[in-house]
Amino acid sequence: MKIIGPIAGTGTRLRPFTLSKPKAFLTVAGKTVLDHIISKFSNTFDSDTELILIVGYKKRQIMEYIKKQYSDKFKLTFIEQIPRGYEEGTPYYWGLGEAVYLAHTRFKKTKLQNMKEDKREGSFIFLGDMLPLDEYSYLMYKYWESDVDGIITVMKVRKEDASSYGIVELDKNGIIERLVEKPKDYISNLAIAGPYSFSNTATFALFKNLKKYLDQRSNESKEVYMTDSLQDLVDQGFKIAAVELKQGILDFGRPSELLKGNKYLLEQGAGRSNDFQKNNITIERSFLKNPIFIGKNTKIINSVIGPYISIGDNSYIENCIMENCVVETSAYLNNIISQNSIIGSNVKVENISKDNLIIGDKSVY
């Protein structure tokens, strides 16, 4: 099986942070979002698995980091998604549909003896800003153990929010009958969550379906989504099961969701370290309220920190009272009182008493 990860997008909803780094590189609970996602793969996929990352925006940052961190854990392949155009110097792309299609060059049609081999030579597709809380082994169980050609993970959403998602309609056995992208009329409360997994045969059919829509593009076309191509799979007779996420999913695509994700991961103990001496962490005249994460070489003086604080490496914090915040690396904060804030890397911020701060990288206040 090959893993496909579309991570080319610019993350416009997370500006100003994504002006200097890809959205998957935002740090929560001591790790980048991408690290949280990929680290869960190790419980389900072995080191012979090919990890195909579709890169674009800030591609060099991603490639250098992934090679350094994961070369010994996966067979790495990088494929560039070429920008559709630029707005004020920032690229924009043809969307998820094209990104997934670009991975078709890494798949070969082979003569497979049975369904088990067909599934083993298939694909697993994840999204770069969404972290399922369920283990991937749970998600894959129905794929391996059921008479299906693939699975799509789904989650329950509020009826009033259903029109903002790709929605699925199921038969009595949990097999998908219909998929609609952002339906105007209510169909169900089951939203496509990603990830997906498909057999080799279904993967090639998906690529073919995607190419059909990509070939129909014009300059006036919108992004190419996956939903229509997935519906084509269903119409072509492929049995695609919906697997409902029992524990839900963390969506890091918006600042408010980033803070929620950070809070959840800290509550679960993700990335937490209490070995201050080993990590060269200095705490002077300060009170820490768990759960928190403090990065290496960080100094905290005369402050009240936490709960639900994630502080990156090489930061300096003095005379601050902070709760439920994400602070990136190499931040200098002095005389700050704040909660529900996100503060970028390499910033210098002083003398602010304000909640819900959004401060981008390399800012000076």
Q: What is the pLDDT of residues 12-30, one digit of tens each?
A: 777 777 777 777 788 888 8
What pLDDT is stored for residue 203 in this prediction? 96
Task: Identify whether 264 is part of a domain.
Answer: no
Yes or no: say if 297 and 313 are a contact pair by the CB < 8 Å rule: yes
Distances (CA, A) of 16 to 10, 19, 357, 363: 11, 5, 12, 10
Packing angle of the helix pair 200-215, 227-235 (nearest 10 deg)? 120
Pairing mode, if any, of strands 50-55 and 2-6?
A: parallel
Residues 6+ apart with CB under 8 A from 162: 183, 186, 187, 188, 189, 191
pLDDT at 221 over 90: no
Higher-pLDDT residue of 49 and 44 is 49
Classify residue 365: in a domain, yes or no.
no
Percent of the chain with pLDDT over 70: 98
In a domain, 138, yes or no: yes
* pLDDT at residue 214 in the model: 94
What are the tokens at 305?
A: 């920190």
Mean pLDDT of all residues in 181-189: 87
Same domain assignment for residues 253 and 348? no
Q: Summarize the confidence of residues 111-139 as an average pLDDT.
A: 85
pLDDT tens per residue, range 329-348: 999 999 999 999 999 899 99
Q: Which domain holds residue 125?
A: 2-257
Q: How many CB atoms lie within 10 A of CB 68?
A: 8
Query: CA angle 229-234-239, nearest 5°?
Result: 130
Across the range 178-193, mean pLDDT stands at 88
Residue 186, both tokens: 């209510």
**Shared-domain flag, residues 215 and 340:** no
What is the pLDDT at residue 346? 92
Last residue of a domain, one of 230, 257, 284: 257
| pLDDT tens string 227-253 | 899 999 999 999 999 998 888 788 777
In a domain, 265, yes or no: no
To the nearest whole number, what is the mean pLDDT of the chain?
Answer: 88
Residue 266 lies in a domain: no
Q: What is the CATH number of the domain that holds 347?
A: 2.160.10.10
Residue 270 is predicted with a pLDDT of 57
| Residue whose C-alpha is closest to residue 58's, from 90, 95, 102, 103 | 90
In this prediction, residue 271 carries a pLDDT of 52
Q: Is the pLDDT of residue 360 over 90?
A: no
**Shared-domain flag, residues 192 and 278:** no
Q: What is the pLDDT of residues 68-96, one digit of tens each?
A: 998 888 999 999 999 888 887 788 788 88
Q: Quick one: 51 and 192 in the same domain?
A: yes
Residues 253 and 352 in one domain: no
Strands 130-132 and 249-251: antiparallel
What is the domain count for the chain?
2
pLDDT at 109: 79
Q: Judge if 277 and 234 occupy the same domain.
A: no
Q: Are residues 203 and 278 in the same domain?
A: no
pLDDT of residue 87: 81
Picking from 222, 257, 292, the residue at the C-terminal end of a domain is 257
CATH of the domain at 58: 3.90.550.10
What is the number of alpha carbons within 13 Å of residue 334 lying toward its C-beta?
6
Q: Evaluate if residue 260 carries a pLDDT over 60.
A: yes
Encoded amino acid at 244, one letter = E
Q: Say yes or no: 196 and 47 in one domain.
A: yes
Helix, strand or coil for residue 313?
coil
| pLDDT tier, 225 (very low <50, low <70, confident <90, very high otherwise) | confident
Q: What is the C-alpha end-to-end distance of the chain, expressed in Å?
A: 49
pLDDT in tens, 48-64: 889 999 998 888 989 99
Q: What are the structure tokens assigned to 2, written together?
A: 């090959």
Does the pLDDT of residue 273 top 60, yes or no?
no
The radius of gyration of the chain from alpha carbons, rounded to an integer in Å, stands at: 22
Whether residues 103 and 41 fall in one domain: yes
Residue 327, domain member (yes or no): yes
* Shared-domain flag, residues 7 and 119: yes
Q: Are residues 276 and 252 in the same domain?
A: no
In a domain, 309, yes or no: yes
How many C-alpha atoms does 124 have within 13 Å on its Cβ side?
19
DSSP 175: B
175 forms bridges with which residues in the sheet? 241
User: Same domain for 246 and 335?
Assistant: no
* Residue after which a domain boundary falls, among 231, 257, 283: 257
DSSP β-bridge partners for residue 300: 283, 317
pLDDT of residue 274: 62
Asked, for residue 267, whether it belongs to a domain, the answer is: no
